[in-house]
Amino acid sequence: MEKTVVREKLLTVKGLKNEMAVAFGLIVMCLLVFLGYLFPGISSYFEARTSLHVIIFINFFIVGIGFLIIRQIVEPIVKISREAKKIAGGDYNRELELFRDDEIGELGESINRMTRRMKESVEELQKFSQTTEQINVEINKRILILSNMLQVSNLIAQNAQFKEIVEVGVGKCLASGVLNFGCLILKDYESSEFQVHFIGGPKANELLDKALKNIPVKLGEGLLGKALLKQSVMIVDKETPLNHDIEQFQATFSLVNAVLVPISSKGNVYGLLIAGNDLKGFSFTKSEHELIQVIARQIAIAHTNELLQKEIQKLEIKDRLTGLFNYSYMRNRLNEEIRRAVNFQRPCSLALLNVDHFNAYHEAYGHIAAENTLIKIGSILKESISEADKAARCGDHEFGIILPEKNKRQSIIVADAIRRKIEDIFAQEKDHNKQLTCTGTVTENPIDGVTADELIEKARAVLKGAQNQGGNRICYKA
């Protein structure tokens, strides 16, 4: 703090009034001395013998004392005024050191107190401004988390594909620019093993080249396995003490810092979300790992929904678009019919039909027209089979018909009748490109296979060859 010193006055007269009275008295005295010299009769002291240089010396002495008194009054005021201007300009580090106990000293002390209060107020305002700025930053981060959560939630509500939800969710983790790597590890329910399901970020291709998707992840082993087993969030940054598991994880994923959040629901762990970067000396903020945890919870919801949908699909037996049976039902029912045919030594066949050039038709006329066409074909199949037969939609534009009690020759007649009916109905379309046809094939148990999978596989192989030959026919292998 810069200090301006105002020294003690020359005379020890207290109060500006007294100082001004002394100065005025000296001036009057000077005038009296001069008048006494001019008019000697006024005082017996001033006689003609009094020399002029003595009078002049006395006057100069008196004037000098008066000047010093006036100077010690005016000079502190000028200095105080100069300092007040600097303080008014924003320099609150200045302070007056006064060695006076009169009004000027009191004025200087008042200015010092005012300056200190102003400085304290400015410091409080600066602290408040910094606090407000930090609050605004935190609010913006919370808004970003909420916005990201809403976007992912909308995808979940729209029943979007799980892959799309994962891509958007991981992308939101990396959107801040601080993180440059995202990875999702999920449990494969066929093998019951945890595998890398998705990798995002600039290093994705590099890590895929390192066969990162093939790394083994086992419960309780390594950093990943321990995070899955404990179902707790793990943070790796500059604050985390290194150990063998962390160093191995960093080397495998080419990371320095990471947040590992389990994907879990109702005590069931489905996988692990990893987000991190390769910055040295980095430490995660509370908002950053909160965002990753929010995204992980939403991915857990989406994954749970996907598992439920798969279970529902297993329980469903009808295709929602055409009203025919679905592929799962057809496969199970075909196996049942094969067992029954074997037990009673009766024939059982499968007819498989595929709409010719359907993909081109879909691209040319759009999704709605394509769906209407599939609905129409489904209706044709329902009208063309008996109550014992079962028609199903096996794929996008592939249809199957279970024909119990019919051998291959009888099944070919049924399949060809359906083919001709489809051709005749669509031949009525004025647009030549809308005149659709279909190609079919027939397989029979046990000639072409003894299980549903064998019959379907054989039928699809024959069907592919028939379509390559031009389509609009029923083919079979004797």
pLDDT tens figures, 276-299: 998 999 999 888 888 888 889 999
Q: Where in the chain is the domain with CATH 3.30.70.270?
A: 318-475
Nearest to 427 by CA among 436, 439, 417: 436
Q: Are 453 and 459 in contact (CB under 8 A)?
A: no
214, amino acid identity: N
Please give the pLDDT value at position 455: 95
Please give the pLDDT value at position 7: 47
Q: Where in the chain is the domain with CATH 3.30.450.40?
A: 159-312
Please give the pLDDT value at position 335: 95
The Cα 338–Cα 454 span in angstroms is 11
Please give the pLDDT value at position 145: 67
CATH topology of domain 318-475: Alpha-Beta Plaits (3.30.70)
Please give the pLDDT value at position 377: 96
Query: ∠471-472-475 over CA atoms, to 5°?
Result: 75
Nearest to 189 by CA among 179, 178, 199, 197: 197
Please give the pLDDT value at position 6: 46
Please give the pLDDT value at position 23: 66
Please give the pLDDT value at position 206: 76
What's the whole-model pTM score?
A: 0.52
Q: What is the CATH number of domain 159-312?
A: 3.30.450.40
pLDDT beneath 50, residues of the chain = 5-12, 48-49
